[in-house]
Amino acid sequence: MSEILDLTIPELVARVHLGQLSAEEVARASLARIEATRSLGAFLHVARTATIEAARSIDERRARGEQLGPLAGVPIAIKDALCTRDAPTTAGSRILTRDPDAPLEAAGPWQPPYDATVIERLRAADALLVGKANMDEFAMGSSNENSAFFIARNPWDPTRIPGGSSGGSAVAVASGATLAALGSDTGGSIRQPAGLCGIVGVKPSYGRVSRYGLLAYASSLDQVGPMAQDVRGAARVLEVIAGADERDSTCTTAPVGAYERACERGVRGLRLGVPRQYFEAGLDPELAEATRGAIAALGKLGCEVLEVDMPHTKYGVSTYYLLATAEASSNLSRFDGVRFGLRRDGERADIHAMYRATRGRGFGAEVKRRIMLGTYALSAGYYDAYYAKAQRVRTLIAKDFQQAFAKVDMLAAPITPMPAFRLGEKLSDPLSMYLADVYTLPANLAGVPGLTVPVGTTAARADRPALPIGLQLMAAPNAEETLFAAAAAWEAARPGPRLRPPPLAAQG
Ligand code: GLN
């Protein structure tokens, strides 16, 4: 069974198209693997019946001679921040359940009446939406430990975090339960868990993919994007989900690139910038070495490698955590006990007491912290000092990118300062968790696309097994094709086979 899940997306789709493999066999293999890796906590909801039914209908349509879509039979995990009309959607939050004390399935999780645009497009491409992936509550976090339901574990070492906020999506792909996943990336939530779990993750340019049906965290930064076991797989998924949407006015009408074809282009003649500020103090030496090694390998493949300056990088963390929390404080005001999910009556029979009781019970500690931070940054007395100033610094950070892209076609950098840390290690210290986002936040602030490709592992030590290391590539807005060309070239020239986590010990 499991060889099915070892196929690449193009290989698997070709077999389903030819009838050499049925979508139902793929569905069953994926559901069995989800079951076998349950202890990793990747899924909040597994869509068993719907997946088998969808697979059977794909097989029937093929038998009738119909042409199948570009993702026919591909099992995909969906971050639970995306609305699905046939499966519950909670964004990892108790406020989108009716009973805050019951286990998730029995808690009356919110059921959206519609599909997000990206979900419609995946269904139309004949993908199998096998389940909803675990995540940090409302996508706030870098470790998946802020899920209101349960933690997720890194398949390379289950005592460590998989990254976040799209942690469940990364675990689903890295553990081989699905071939791809959708995540959302507001400040690194696709690229960082992909890097820490040893898979490919793409944050598209702002506006490249529709946000219609994505539960908003920070609307000027959020983007939906693919995670996959290899670069071509991610390219194919992005090609399916990208493109204009009249239901999202921030979605660009620029034509969607030929991402999969770009994977054949190679890197000859491309100029690759190495931003000095991404390699300064704080970066783990083993990660620095692996990143520099991958950059040198891209140089050997034909890139011209140049050093560039991005002097405002150091302001990224403070700028992001002011703007993202300000936007979140506004976006999350809709969860008030009136329209969705949880409702708790207050001690007094007035609406403010009801709001307080509902939001007090329904939101977790990190979400409350951010609503308070964001509300403060937007308050009359502090707006200029914090929110308005952060907007101006955002412009300076975007200018760093514009100036860099006048000289180079793409930038190469680490994803995180350290490999996957231990569960619980940073939970009581939010500031150190925020600081670890230093390399991923600038791309969101500037709206540029970023891609993570695995480039190796750390050496196994007495206290720690080998852990994946990812390389981050960034390009100018709507230049995703360049990222796919470079990442695919690296992947094709990579020494050794695809990175895979060790088999899970003691699965019961
Ligand atoms: N880790 C960052 C945060 O906590 C980014 C999260 C994201 O991209 N959704 O806000």
Question: Is 139 touching ligand 1 by the criterion CB < 6 Å?
Answer: yes
Q: Are 213 and 245 in contact (CB under 8 A)?
A: no
Ligand 1 binding pocket mutation candidate from 82, 135, 142 (most atoms within 8 A of CB):
142
- Ligand 1 centre distance from Cα of residue 140 (Å): 5
Ligand 1 binding pocket mutation candidate from 140, 185, 432, 472 (most atoms within 8 A of CB):
140
* DSSP helix/strand/coil, 274: strand
Whether residue 332 is contained in a domain is answered as no
- What are the residue numbers of the active site? 79, 165, 189
The predicted-structure confidence for 414-462, as pLDDT tens digits, reads as follows 999 999 999 999 999 999 999 999 999 999 999 999 999 999 999 999 9
Q: Which domain holds residue 37?
A: 2-317+390-507
Does pTM top 0.85 for this prediction? Answer: yes
Question: Is 363 touching ligand 1 by the criterion CB < 6 Å?
Answer: no
Question: Is 186 touching ligand 1 by the criterion CB < 6 Å?
Answer: yes
pLDDT at 506: 46
- Ligand 1 centre distance from Cα of residue 201 (Å): 15
Q: Are 240 and 121 in contact (CB under 8 A)?
A: yes
Question: Is 222 touching ligand 1 by the criterion CB < 6 Å?
Answer: no
- CA 476/CA 119 separation, integer angstroms: 27
pLDDT at 347: 84
- CA 419/CA 416 separation, integer angstroms: 7
* DSSP helix/strand/coil, 286: helix
Whether residue 124 is contained in a domain is answered as yes
- Ligand 1 centre distance from Cα of residue 429 (Å): 15
Indicate which atom in ligand 1 lies nearest the CA of residue 437: 1
Phi-psi region of 341 (alpha: psi -120 to 50; beta: other; left: phi over 0): left
* DSSP helix/strand/coil, 243: coil
Ligand 1 binding pocket mutation candidate from 82, 165, 429 (most atoms within 8 A of CB):
165
Q: Residue with the nearest Cα to atom 10 of ligand 1? A: 140
Question: Is 416 touching ligand 1 by the criterion CB < 6 Å?
Answer: no
- Ligand 1 centre distance from Cα of residue 221 (Å): 10
pLDDT at 471: 98
Whether residue 56 is contained in a domain is answered as yes
Q: Are 325 and 217 in contact (CB under 8 A)?
A: no
pLDDT at 281: 83
Indicate which atom in ligand 1 lies nearest the CA of residue 186: 8
Helix (H) or strand (E) holding 505: none
Whether residue 95 is contained in a domain is answered as yes
Number of domains composing the chain: 1
- CA 178/CA 390 separation, integer angstroms: 39
Residue among 142, 144, 112 at smallest CA distance from 44: 144
CATH number assigned to the domain comprising residue 109: 3.90.1300.10
Question: Is 117 touching ligand 1 by the criterion CB < 6 Å?
Answer: no
pLDDT at 349: 84
Whether residue 363 is contained in a domain is answered as no
Indicate which atom in ligand 1 lies nearest the CA of residue 370: 10
- Ligand 1 centre distance from Cα of residue 139 (Å): 6
- Ligand 1 centre distance from Cα of residue 403 (Å): 26
Provide the residue type at 455 as one letter.
V
Whether residue 371 is contained in a domain is answered as no
Indicate which atom in ligand 1 lies nearest the CA of residue 190: 8
Residue ranges for the chain with pLDDT beneath 70 = 1-2, 505-508
pLDDT at 508: 34
- Ligand 1 centre distance from Cα of residue 490 (Å): 27
Whether residue 160 is contained in a domain is answered as yes
Whether residue 398 is contained in a domain is answered as yes
